[in-house]
Amino acid sequence: MKYALLATALVAGSIALALDGQVGIHDPSTIVLSNGKFYTYGTGGNSLVSDDGWTWRRGTALPRRGLAPDVIHIGDRYYVYIAANIGAQPKAAVNMIWSKTLDPDSPGYKWEEGGVVASSNGVEDANAIDPGVFLDPNDGRLWLVYGSYFGYIRLVELDPKTGKRKDPNDKPRDLAINCEASDMIYHDGWYYLLATHGSCCRGADSGYNIRMGRAKKVTGPFLDREGIDMIQGGGKLFVGSGGRVVGPGHFGLLDLGDGVQKFSMHWEADLDRGGASVLDIRPLLWKDGWPVAGGNLNPGTYEIESVRTGTALELSVEGMPVGGRRARGGGGGPGGAGAPGAAAPGGAPPAIGGPGGGIFAGTGAPIPEQDVAQVSKNWPTGNIDVRMANYLCQAQQKWTIAAAPNAGGYPGSPYFKITIAGTERALAATADSELVVLPAFTGAAEQLWRIEQLPDGAWRIMPKVVPNSNQPVALSAVGSSFATLSRFDPKSDKQRWSIKTP
Amino acid sequence: MTMHPTSFAFLLAIGAVAAAQVAPVTLMRPATPDKAPAPDGFIQRWLVLEPIRANGLTDSAVQAIVKKEYFPNQFTVIPHDGDKVTVGDTQLTWHAEDTRLYNLNLYHFAHALDKPTTNVLFWALTLVNCPREMPGVRLAIGSNAASVWWVNGQEVIGIYGDRQTVIDDGVSKRLTLKKGQNIIRAAIVNGGGATDFCARFLDQDDKPLKGYTVSLNEVRK
């Protein structure tokens, strides 16, 4: 288990989590859901399957082996497009196969051959590999982009009823050059072509990076943010190497509904997995009309702040000011914490503190972080409510978010436990869709949290379950000082949270 | 006639002080038996007790202040307008008030009665009449400064510290208003300066709750 191996490092709160299980794959297809499971297929026909999108295992190989397949679900069919060299490169063809399910255990699991939908003859400026299939949400037309470094990324139209080429005599359109592994998505009036630049298949020396352009028509021209046409080599960077992973390629959209989008890709080399090529899933964000590669939450200690109200989630206990209580204009305490409700130690006489003295001069010495062991002595020992307040760097306002061991997850991330930093006090959902902090984390499902980045970069925080309810709900701000659980509304700020490093 | 600039400024200052001594009129006596909440849901009719001296705004200090018994049946009594209670050696009167605004300005209330507004505790109460049971609603309040709220005897909100009134600052968990009469009781603790509160119910979609009226027990002053 990857994150178990990283357990020590996670304490530092700076290590990104990678998908769990068997995630080795190259050139993964778009991830699709079939019969409640997630599927993706890679070069060689290998497949990965997952029950939750977090833990993956080897699946059943496709009957047709080849290069960099892509998958789409239309009606009652799953169409798979998969390429193969049919001679010396760039002589290649993209074949289509289809089945009514991707689940080998389902009675409907049976692959049918659909024939060649695109090809290159070895002479023309095209290499018919790396298909990417796209259903236009505006008019229901189905398109295929394909191609590699021998020439252009090309576009042909398919028949959504059959998955086959709509008109074999229709000449392919050239969209881009000097890239491969292309795919297309639509968002808010624009078509986006995402394609992989750089070289693959060299482990940590692979220069793969995903770039993009956009167009008002599916046929282009696709210009990058500088106005350079992708057919002249343009392309705005979408995601490159970073951290412990090198060489992203093969973008695929995973739309989870309610405005939550993610994307899949592979890394040419995961340095923590010996440089193996692995699957990854990350949030897809949008800024100024361009896709942005978001990040899955890194474990750590955070302030959880409502986008709606600007107030921070806290344990409902009396806060103790950092450095001790002081009256307005009065001096600070000794740096520790007095008893809650104690009279202000300052009061009328101005503080004599730092340089120059006076009421704004402080104590003249650094004030240490609040010691939760000290300030929590007066907290109730049982269940405690949750509320929100202005963030004042106090112990009851800092939450440690850590992967919950052996608890499964969702596309891209494990379930998390959320505890008051330095304590075992764990946030949980109640049967009446409210919140409570329990004395300790037990691993129960209502103490597990799904934390996902929304398109604007804010976070949605959802309990895995609410006891005695099937209704999915999210952490929600009601008023300035109270938080609850309610149905997610993608148009509202109520369920949007900033997760900030304190 | 010419006026020295300094003298002119002095007269302006006198005028400003005089103007400041006339508090705006935002409160009036109820003129009808029942009153629907305002279009934005705010409850504008309350019984308010003249202020009690109290000092402290932290969570524990406010809890201690509001849990202290000042007069008999403090958490259960439904007083009438004009009823009097004795707190220590001071006799205090309950007043029925309608506010023209979304909030009830306790500074105006106390100032008009020549009562203190600093380091004080106000008790307020209103009766909510529901034609049917209303489940899944929330009481949503704002107060300057700290306040604690009860619905039908159950403590549902506490907000603390030296804070200003913000609409829907403190919000209760989901609760059920029973068919018939429901009682909202509030204790507002002020440190210094302005003091007021506002309150409304939110429905299951967090929209202002409607379909009920508020009344006071009997207006007889």
Do the domain assignments include residue A357?
A: no
The gap from C-alpha A281 to its chain's centroid, in whole angstroms, comes to 6
Is the confidence at residue A63, as pLDDT, over 50? Answer: yes
A193 and A328 fall within a common domain: no
| Pick from B155, B152, B158, B153: nearest CA to B189 | B158
Q: Is the pLDDT of residue B140 over 90?
A: yes
Q: Inspect the interface and report whether the beta carbons of A478 and B140 lie closer than 8 Å.
A: yes
**Could you say which of A432, A433, A478 has the minimum Cβ distance to residue B206?**
A478
For residue A135, pLDDT over 60 is answered with yes
Query: CATH code at A237?
Result: 2.115.10.20
- Average pLDDT rounded to a whole number, residues A34-63: 96
Q: Which residues on chain A are in Cβ contact (under 8 Å) with B59?
A: 317-318, 340-341
Closest chain B residue to A494, measured at CA: B206
User: Residue A8: its pLDDT value, please?
Assistant: 33
Percentages helix, strand, coil for chain A (3-state, rounded to 5) are 5, 40, 50
Q: Do A341 and B58 touch (CB under 8 A)?
A: yes
Q: Are A448 and A416 in contact (CB under 8 A)?
A: yes
pLDDT of residue B6: 42
Q: Based on the domain organization, do A158 and A143 belong to the same domain?
A: yes
Q: Are residues A260 and A315 in the same domain?
A: no
* B-chain residues near A432 (CB < 8 A): 173-174
Same domain? For A305 and A279 the reply is: no
Query: CA nearest B204 in A: which residue?
Result: A486
Look up the CATH number of the domain holding residue A461: 2.80.10.50
pLDDT digits (tens, 9 = 90+) for B7-38: 444 444 444 444 445 557 899 999 999 999 99
Domain range for A375: 300-334+369-500
Confidence band (pLDDT; 50, 70, 90) for A468? confident
Q: Are A142 and A157 in contact (CB under 8 A)?
A: yes
Asked if A434's CB is within 8 angstroms of B168's CB, the reply is: no
**Mean pLDDT over each residue of chain A, to the nearest integer:** 91
pLDDT confidence of residue B15: 42
A360 domain-assigned: no
Percent of chain B with pLDDT over 70: 87
Residues A291 and A194: beta-carbon distance below 8 Å: yes
Over residues B52-58, mean pLDDT: 96
Name the residue facing B61 among A341, A433, A434 (closest C-beta).
A341
**How big is chain A, counted in residues?**
502
Q: How confident is the model at residue A325 (pLDDT cuts 50, 70, 90)?
A: confident
Residues A91 and A186 grouped into a single domain: yes
The answer to whether residue B91 scores a pLDDT higher than 50 is: yes
The total domain count for chain A is 2
Among B56, B58, B138, the residue with its CB nearest the CB of A478 is B138
The answer to whether A480 contacts B60, with C-beta atoms less than 8 Å apart, is no
| DSSP string over A43-112 | GGG-EEEESSSSEEEE-PPPSS--EEEEEEEETTEEEEEEEEE-SSTTEEEEEEEEES-S-TTSTT---E
Report DSSP letters for A162-197, one per residue: TSSBS-TTSPPEEEEES-EEEEEEEETTEEEEEEEE
Cα–Cα distance measured from residue B112 to residue B92, given in angstroms and rounded to the nearest whole number: 14
Strand ranges, E, within A206-244: 209-215, 236-239
Per-residue pLDDT at A345 exceeds 80: no
Contact B64 A484 (CB under 8 A): no
Interface test with A, best of B141, B144, B160 (most A CBs within 10 A): B160
Min distance B86 CA to chain A CA atoms (Å): 28
Return the SS3 of A315.
strand
Quickly state the pLDDT bin for A331 (edges 50, 70, 90): very low
β-bridge partners, A388: A313
DSSP per-residue codes, B8-56? HHHHHHHHHHHHHTS----EE---SSEEPPPTT-B--EEEEEPPEE---
Gap between the Cα atoms of A159 and A143, Å rounded: 8
Q: What is the CATH number of the domain that holds B194?
A: 2.60.120.380
CA A63, CA A319: separation in Å to the nearest integer?
63
Residue A319: inside a domain: yes
Q: What is the pLDDT of residue A470?
A: 87
The pLDDT, as a whole number, for residue A11 is 34
User: Do residue A254 and residue A273 come from a single domain?
Assistant: yes
A149-183 residue pLDDT tens: 989 999 999 999 999 999 999 999 999 999 999 99
Amino acid A3: pLDDT: 39
Name chain A contacts of B191, Cβ cutoff 8 Å.
Answer: none
Mean pLDDT value across residues B80-87: 96
In a domain, B209, yes or no: yes
Q: Please indicate, yes or no, whether residues A318 and A276 belong to a single structural domain of this protein.
A: no
- Contact residues on chain A for B166, CB-CB shorter than 8 A: 480
Asked if B172 and A481 come within 8 Å (Cβ–Cβ), the reply is no
Do A46 and A123 fall within a single domain?
Answer: yes
- Asked if the Cβ–Cβ distance from B171 to A482 is below 8 Å, we say yes
Task: Give me the mean pLDDT over the A218-235 stretch.
Answer: 97
Interface mutation vs chain B, best among A478, A486, A491, A494, most B CBs within 10 Å: A478
Residues A278 and A326 reside in one and the same domain: no
- pLDDT of A341 reads 37
Q: Please name which of A61, A78, A86, A81 lies closest in space to residue A69, comparing C-alpha atoms.
A: A81
More confident residue, A346 or A91: A91
The secondary element (H helix, E strand) that includes residue B59 is: helix B59-67
Model confidence at A469, pLDDT cuts 50, 70, 90, reads confident
Confidence grade of residue A188 (pLDDT, cut at 50, 70, 90): very high
**A280/A324 same-domain check:** no
CA distance A425 to chain B (A): 20
Domain that holds residue B152: 27-215
Q: Do B159 and A481 touch (CB under 8 A)?
A: yes
What does the pLDDT read at residue B22?
59
Residue A201: what pLDDT?
94
Q: Looking at the domain assignment, is residue B7 inside a domain?
A: no
Q: At A357, is the pLDDT very low, low, confident or very high (cuts 50, 70, 90)?
A: low
Q: Specify the number of domains making up chain B.
A: 1
Q: Are strands B180-190 and B120-130 parallel, antiparallel or unpaired?
A: antiparallel
How close is the nearest chain B Cα to the Cα of A414, in Å?
29
Whether residue A209 is found in the same domain as residue A275: yes
Q: Over range B84-94, report the average pLDDT.
A: 96
Q: What kind and span of H or E run contains A202?
A: none
- Quick one: B114 exposed, middle or buried, by C-beta within 10 A (0-12, 13-18, 19+)? exposed
In this structure, the answer to whether residues A234 and A329 fall within a common structural domain is: no
Average pLDDT over residues A228-247: 97
- Residues of chain B with a CB closer than 8 angstroms to some CB in chain A: 56, 58-61, 64, 138, 140, 159-160, 166, 168-174, 202, 206
The reported pLDDT for the residue numbered A164 is 98
